[in-house]
Structure 1
Amino acid sequence: SGRREAADVPSPRSPAAVRAGGVNIPFRGAECSGDAWTCVRDGDLVTLMMADGLGHGPEAARASTAAVAEVRRSAHLPPAELLRRLDAALRDTRGAAVGVARLDLRAGRLLFAGIGNIGARLREGDSWRHLISRPGIVGVHRPTTLPQTGADWAADRLLVLHSDGLPSRWAPPADPRLLSADPALTAAVTVRDAGSSARPVRDDTAVAVLSPSPSDRP
């Protein structure tokens, strides 16, 4: 079983609003997942973070939970700087793969940076773009340089972050209606459609989706 969560992320001073949702499924029905995600707003800035604690079980969950706590304290920072802060915060854990996306609603600009095996895809119109993470483990081994990938944000965009419990070659939702659905539903359908008997799940699986609110869509 898994947990599905959704949240509106409005800003009364911003020209647009977004909402976030996701699913988090523990490996083999365990009591806790080593994956965690959060979405935090700070004024016109919206930060979506996905963390995958090394391995699975309680110690993996401790690492990803520490990442969530630090993001909630430091969401004002750009992704690369936030990852540096997370690296220090996770030093007493087994570490985690982490992907961070920050959306500036007023500027309509998205920045992404990641360390480790966190998947990130951005829908731009009718195509999907991969956002690349750097090798490493936050809290254990951080790359010397952390480039940020930038992209424009518009009403037809959709951002998906996921842990490596989701197959790397998963296909984005084919039904266009899901692209304007509740993001938690989009995340759940993504997990459902990615699984098969030929590709059994071998780890915790989490997917988080960031999308414009319905009134902002064309």
Structure 2
Amino acid sequence: MIHTVAAPTAQVRVDHHSAIHLAAETARGVARDCGLPGALPDRAAVIASELATNLDKHASDGTLYIQPAPLGEGVEILAVDRGPGMAELEQCLADGFTTSGTLGMGLGTVNRMATHFAIRSGTGAGTVVCARLASPGERLTAAQGVGSVCLPMEGEDECGDARAIAETDDTRTAAVVDGLGHGGQAAEAARTALRTFHADPGRPLPDTLTRMNRALRHTRGAAVGLLRLHPDRADYCGIGNIRVLALSAQGVEHRMTGQPGVVGWSMPVPRVHSFSLASGVTAVLHSDGIDASWAHEPSPFLLRLPPPLLSAALAHGHRRVRDDATVLAARPPQRLP
């Protein structure tokens, strides 16, 4: 069983040259907190610095999101912008390539230094980058199809949302929790729910929600969405306003939200809803801190993003800053040879 309790995402807006140093120091600190050994925290700092430099020179509304990898060990650095996009993406990935006449190492070196690297860019759609850095033994886990971003309401130090994902040989189970309100008490409710989830993530989903309901009785309560991914289908069980969608390159294949109620206070008997998952379909869970209107007519660029880049793009482009916001995107676990 592989599972992760993910800390909230650190956000660095690259709106000034000094943000480059902040990005590097944030990445170094998160990498150390993740237990990366030796020179790897310094390598994470270099990756963040290069991505932030790229945003500072070429993009508008650029942000780095830095966090523990959503599954397994390691650090993840996401860069998102609303710039013009990269017309010559392969050329931009060459070591030493620059359009500004500087000696910056560029995206090619980031690609080479990272354990796992993904980038997509579209004309007028901006660019989204994911660089993950893990110890050598974590290489396969780092490349698997999971992405997530979890952000507190602007002005809050603690995040009332939380998320986690766990994997067995056959399934991948995700949880998104939205503690009622904001701040410390909402965060405590969310953490309590995740402790229940991690006690046995392979339980039947209604049983997990029932146990959460008991555990949260002396908290503010929470909305909870649980999603279990099988090779050919997904099972969803949720209470409150946690949305789930299934995306293919053609559009939104399925969408639903949780049953009315609050886990910990007025929870109805939880029900499981199943839907098919064709090859290549990505399942998305998000709290109401992500504006649901994104799914009305999602762009072809958005629909084709892999899970880590999709999570970053949704958080960056559709977040409600006056609420905690969480998005988690995943595909069924890969069958490794």
**Normalising to structure 2: TM-score of the pair?**
0.54
CA change 1:50–1:60 in 2 (3 A) is same
Match of 2:147 in 1: 21
Alpha-carbon separation, structure 1, partners of 2:298 and 2:314:
6
Instruction: Report the Cα offset of residue 202 of structure 1.
Output: 2.1
CA change 1:203–1:88 in 2 (3 A) is same
Equivalent residue letter for 1:134: Q
Instruction: Report the Cα offset of residue 140 of structure 1.
Output: 1.0
Equivalent residue letter for 1:20: V
CA change 1:102–1:163 in 2 (3 A) is same
Match of 1:66 in 2: 192
RMSD: 2.6
Equivalent residue letter for 1:68: L
Q: Give the count of matched residue pairs.
A: 201
**Structure ranking higher in strand proportion:** 1
Alpha-carbon separation, structure 1, partners of 2:165 and 2:214:
20
3-state SS of 2:209 partner: helix
Residue from 112, 132, 141 that aligns with 2:266: 141
Specify every segment of 5 or more residues in structure 1 that has no aligned partner in the other structure, as ranges: 10-16
Given that residues 286 and 327 in structure 2 are in contact (C-alpha distance below 8 angstroms), is that contact kept between their aligned partners in structure 1? yes
Match of 2:283 in 1: 159
Shifted more, 121-130 versus 161-170: the winner is: 121-130
Alpha-carbon separation, structure 1, partners of 2:238 and 2:66:
24
Alpha-carbon separation, structure 2, partners of 1:21 and 1:58:
25
3-state SS of 1:147 partner: coil
3-state SS of 1:38 partner: strand
Shifted more, 116-125 versus 168-177: the winner is: 168-177
Instruction: Report the Cα offset of residue 125 of structure 1.
Output: 5.6
CA change 1:189–1:180 in 2 (3 A) is closer
Specify every segment of 5 or more residues in structure 2 that has no aligned partner in the other structure, as ranges: 1-10, 12-64, 73-142
3-state SS of 2:145 partner: strand
Given that residues 6 and 184 in structure 1 are in contact (C-alpha distance below 8 angstroms), is that contact kept between their aligned partners in structure 2? no
CA change 1:81–1:190 in 2 (3 A) is same
Match of 1:56 in 2: 182
Greater relative CO, 1 or 2 (CA 8 Å, sep 6+): 1
Equivalent residue letter for 2:277: W
Shifted more, 48-57 versus 69-78: the winner is: 69-78
Alpha-carbon separation, structure 2, partners of 1:127 and 1:179:
9
Instruction: Report the Cα offset of residue 74 of structure 1.
Output: 2.1
Match of 1:92 in 2: 218
Alpha-carbon separation, structure 2, partners of 1:29 and 1:188:
20
Given that residues 249 and 303 in structure 2 are in contact (C-alpha distance below 8 angstroms), is that contact kept between their aligned partners in structure 1? no
Equivalent residue letter for 2:160: G
Instruction: Report the Cα offset of residue 73 of structure 1.
Output: 1.0
Given that residues 162 and 191 in structure 2 are in contact (C-alpha distance below 8 angstroms), is that contact kept between their aligned partners in structure 1? yes
Are 2:243 and 1:116 aligned?
Answer: no
Match of 1:169 in 2: 293
